């Protein structure tokens, strides 16, 4: 197993309420030249957590950080005018907290970050530092 030191949270940058599948994200990532979906987990609008890329494989979600990280993506992140906003449903918030807690238990030395802490992006469109207190 890889040594995991970072858990990086992303959004799909899709409008609130729009259902997006793991297959959709995988197609987008393959169009960008990835060999599969770049995220390890995807959190759907109803809170269902779905596996993307196996955790044992290096992700493709945050340049310079993939080797030692796990990427989580929640569906949403922009409003209907494509402006960045926290669109997480209550179910997504709950599932994200639970998933992060599970991953922190499995990888106790991992810290939690938002993608925007490593790239000039708004993603994941909420303050990860505040929500997951480092």
Give the residue numbers annotated as catalytic, written as ranges. 10, 39, 115, 121, 123
Strand-pairing partners, residue 114, are 9
Distance separating alpha carbons of residues 99 and 128, to the nearest angstrom = 14
Task: Take residue 9 and report the two structure tokens written for it.
Answer: 């949270």
Distance separating alpha carbons of residues 19 and 22, to the nearest angstrom = 10
3-state secondary structure (DSSP) of residue 28:
helix
CA angle, 80 then 14 then 35, to 5°: 160
């Amino acid at each position: 197993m890889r040594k995991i030191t970072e858990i990086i949270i992303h959004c799909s940058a899709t409008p609130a309420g729009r259902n997006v599948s793991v297959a959709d994200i995988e197609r987008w990532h393959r169009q960008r030249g990835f060999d599969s979906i770049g995220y390890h987990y995807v959190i759907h609008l109803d809170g269902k957590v779905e596996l993307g890329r196996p955790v044992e494989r290096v992700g493709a979600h945050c340049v310079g950080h993939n080797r030692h990280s796990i990427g989580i993506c929640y569906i949403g992140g922009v409003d209907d005018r494509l402006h960045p906003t926290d669109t997480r449903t209550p179910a997504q918030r709950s599932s994200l907290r639970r998933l992060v807690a599970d991953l922190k238990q499995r990888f106790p030395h991992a810290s939690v970050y938002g993608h925007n802490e490593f790239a000039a992006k708004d993603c994941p469109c909420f303050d990860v530092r505040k929500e997951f207190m480092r």
